[in-house]
Structure 1
Amino acid sequence: MTGLLFLPVVLSLIVLGAHFLREGNLIMVAVALVIIGLVFVRRRWAAYTVQTALLLGAAEWVRTLVERVAARFEAGQPVLRLVLILGGVALVTALSTLVFRTARLKRWYEHS
């Protein structure tokens, strides 16, 4: 059951890594992979690091959203679908931090 709690966290980090890969930022792809590994390190510092990475990832999605909306406005293209998709991805990434507040994961990281 604990593994299922990690699912939104790991999926958010995979999507973030794919975003960095598409942008050609291989260093950040490697960072995303390392953070995925940290999910399974049963230490409090690891949990805090993963949560921080997720919040920074959500901020990256918002930055990307603003950048792409500006480009689409300039080109006279519609933006609603872009806002809904990237806004949703940013929201899911940020909300993934909440799984660390569950009793099960608090116990998981306390037994270190």
Structure 2
Amino acid sequence: MLSAITFPGRYIMWWRLIWVAFVYLLLGAHFLRSGNPVLCAVFSLLPNLLFFRKMWINRLLQLILLGSVFAVWGVCSYHYVQTRVMFGAPWGRLAIIMTTVSLLTIAAAWCIEEINLRTIKHCHPDDNKLSD
């Protein structure tokens, strides 16, 4: 079936995995551009954790994405816009782009929530314990 990836006991739509991986790669590219290759590697490899069947891993990935909206994109947006204002350059388009990137990151966190719901629906009840 082309619209889904099947794991043992799971049914996940493929576009959700691609969306989450894209956002994590975008965060990795941001850290590589800012000169931090370690964080680039960490954020680029984090989507691979989605292949494990643990709810707490999915929750952790969600929290990282939601935290990065404020800690990464929010802070960078503020600094970039302030720099543009200070030099008298136009900043409206930059603000729209950074807002869009933040919304895409929030949408990826929602995709992980949908993966969680499908995990609960299609997995054995013992696999969904948060204490594992």
Q: Specify if TM > 0.5.
A: yes
Structure 1 residue 46, shift from structure 2 partner = 0.8
What pairs up with 1:1-80 in 2 under 5 angstroms? 1=4, 2=12, 3-59=14-70, 60-80=72-92
Moved beyond 6 Å, runs of 4+: none
Larger radius of gyration: 2
- Structure 1 residue aligned with 2:94: 82
Letter in 2 for 1:93: T
State the TM-score, normalizing by the size of structure 1.
Answer: 0.88
Bigger drift between 92-101 and 11-20 goes to 92-101
State the identity %: 28
Deviation of 1:31 after TM superposition, in Å, equals 1.8
Give the aligned residue type for 2:64.
A
Task: Tell me if structure 2 keeps the 8 A contact 1:5–1:99.
Answer: yes
Aligned partners of 2:59, 2:16: CA distance in 1, in Å? 16
* Cα deviations by residue, 1:24-66 (Å, 9 ceiling, x for unpaired): 1112112202311112221011101110111122121111000
Provide closer, same or farther for how the CA distance between residues 93 and 86 of structure 1 changes in structure 2, counting only shifts above 3 A.
same
More strand, by proportion: 2
Moved more, 66-75 or 93-102: 93-102
- Could you say what the CA RMSD is over the residues aligned between the two structures, in angstroms? 1.7
Structure ranking higher in helix proportion: 1
**1:100 offset after TM fit, Å?**
2.8
**How many aligned positions are there?**
111
Cα offset, 1:109, TM superposition: 6.0
Structure 1: tracts of 5 or more residues without a match: none
